[in-house]
Amino acid sequence: MTSSRLIARYAIEHADHFEVITRYADTTETLHLPKKAPILSSLAAEHPAAIWFERKMQDDFGLRLEGAWDTRPLVQQEYFPSNTHPLLASFDATQSLTPIAAHPYPYETVDGDGVFEVPVGPIHAGIIEPGHFQFSQAGERILHLEVRHFYKHRGIEKMLEGTNPLHAWPIVERISGTESLAYQIAWRDILLQATRTELPESLRCYHALLLEMERIVHHLTDLGFIPNDAGFGTALAIASRLAEDARRQLKRLTGHRFGFGAVRQDIPAAYDPQQLLAWVKQLEQELQTFSDWILDVPSLWDRFDTTGILSHDDARTYDAVGVVARASGLPLDRRDTPWYRELGWECITETGGDVAARFHVRLREMAQSLTLVRHLAEQVVPIDTEKWGTIKDGRYEAFVESPLGELYLTADLKEGKVKRFFVRDPSFVNWQVLHRMMPGNIIADFPLINKSCDLSYAGNDL
Partner 1 sequence: MVRFWEQRAKRGIVTEHPEWEEEMAALRKELKKGIHKHFAGSLAIRMVDSGSCNACEAECNALSNPYYALERLGIHFVASPRHADVMLLSGVMTFNMLPHVLDAWEQIPEPKWCIILGDCPLLEAPFTQTYAIKGPAAAHLPIHHHIPGCPPTPEEIIEGLLAFLKTLG
Residues that bind partner 1 (CB under 8 A): 77-80, 86, 91-97, 99, 122-123, 125-130, 150-155, 158-159, 170-171, 173-178, 180, 221, 236-237, 240-241, 243-244, 247, 257-258, 260, 289, 292-293, 296-297, 456-458
Q: DSSP secondary-structure letter at 44?
A: T
Query: Toward partner 1, which CB reaches closer, 183 or 318?
Result: 183
8 A C-beta contact, residue 430 and residue 119 = no
Distance of alpha carbon 47 from the chain centroid: 18
Least distance in angstroms from the C-beta of 300 to partner 1:
12
- Classify the C-alpha dihedral 177-182-185-187 as positive or negative: negative
Contacts of 349 (CB under 8 A, 6+ apart): 326, 327, 329, 330, 331, 361
8 A C-beta contact, residue 52 and residue 69 = no
Give the distance between the most distant pair of CA atoms in the chain.
Answer: 70
Query: Toward partner 1, which CB reaches closer, 151 or 340?
Result: 151
Burial (Cβ within 10 Å: 0-12, 13-18, ≥19) of residue 274: exposed
Query: Toward partner 1, which CB reaches closer, 354 or 454?
Result: 454
Least distance in angstroms from the C-beta of 92 to partner 1:
8
Query: Toward partner 1, which CB reaches closer, 150 or 206?
Result: 150
Our CA angle for 228, 232, 236, nearest 5°, is 50
Distance of alpha carbon 203 from the chain centroid: 24
Query: Toward partner 1, which CB reaches closer, 190 or 239?
Result: 239
How close are the terminal C-alpha atoms of the chain, in Å?
33
Least distance in angstroms from the C-beta of 66 to partner 1:
27
Distance of alpha carbon 196 from the chain centroid: 27
Contacts of 388 (CB under 8 A, 6+ apart): 166, 191, 195, 197
Least distance in angstroms from the C-beta of 50 to partner 1:
23
The full length of the chain comes to 462
Query: Toward partner 1, which CB reaches closer, 85 or 316?
Result: 85
Whole-angstrom distance, CA of residue 63 vs CA of residue 413: 23
Q: DSSP secondary-structure letter at 303?
A: H
Query: Toward partner 1, which CB reaches closer, 22 or 134?
Result: 134
The dihedrals phi and psi of 302, each to the nearest 5 degrees, come to: -65, -35
Query: Toward partner 1, which CB reaches closer, 217 or 315?
Result: 217
Gyration radius of the chain over CA positions: 22
Least distance in angstroms from the C-beta of 172 to partner 1:
9
Least distance in angstroms from the C-beta of 450 to partner 1:
15
Query: Toward partner 1, which CB reaches closer, 155 or 273?
Result: 155
Whole-angstrom distance, CA of residue 208 vs CA of residue 445: 35
Whole-angstrom distance, CA of residue 424 vs CA of residue 8: 7
Whole-angstrom distance, CA of residue 173 vs CA of residue 185: 10
Least distance in angstroms from the C-beta of 283 to partner 1:
14
Least distance in angstroms from the C-beta of 370 to partner 1:
19
Whole-angstrom distance, CA of residue 330 vs CA of residue 124: 31
Least distance in angstroms from the C-beta of 175 to partner 1:
7
Whole-angstrom distance, CA of residue 159 vs CA of residue 188: 19
Least distance in angstroms from the C-beta of 240 to partner 1:
4
Least distance in angstroms from the C-beta of 90 to partner 1:
13
Whole-angstrom distance, CA of residue 95 vs CA of residue 91: 8
Query: Toward partner 1, which CB reaches closer, 50 or 239?
Result: 239
